């Protein structure tokens, strides 16, 4: 049951990113996580992870520069967390190609 629900949530994240024209970002489901990442050639760079903790509630994590997941104190609905990332932490979703990196 959780796999089906997370597929729906994954689609929600994809749609939210597309609405903001963040076309360089991809979304995948890994276990109980919905992961937002980008690709540069053959390498993947994790950006944001939403971890399912109970029905309709997720925990927010960000990837460090080394790729390690860093926990945050933020939890809430996926809608709340996506809005938080887009409004309060937009640099975590930056398209590095726009800056020549």
29 CB neighbour count, 10 Å cutoff: 17
Q: What's the pLDDT at 101?
A: 46
In terms of Cα–Cα distance, which of 47, 49, 51, 50 is closest to 64? 47
Cβ atoms of 78 and 58 within 8 Å: the answer is: yes
Q: How many domains does the chain have?
A: 1
Q: What is the pLDDT of residues 5-53, one digit of tens each?
A: 798 899 999 999 999 999 999 999 999 999 999 998 778 999 999 999 9
Give the domain range for residue 9: 2-99
| pLDDT for res 2 | 67
Please identify which residue in the block is written with the tokens 């903001």: 20
pLDDT for the residue numbered 99: 59
């Amino acid at each position: 049951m959780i796999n089906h629900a997370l597929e729906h949530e994954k689609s929600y994240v994809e749609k939210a990113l597309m609405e903001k024209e963040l076309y360089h970002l991809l979304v995948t489901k890994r276990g109980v996580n919905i992961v937002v990442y980008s690709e540069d050639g053959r390498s993947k760079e994790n950006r944001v992870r939403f971890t399912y903790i109970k029905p309709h509630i997720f925990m927010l994590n960000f990837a460090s520069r080394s790729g390690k997941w860093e926990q945050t104190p933020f939890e809430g609905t996926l809608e709340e967390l996506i809005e938080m990332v887009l409004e309060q932490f937009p640099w975590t979703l930056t398209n590095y190609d726009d800056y020549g990196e």
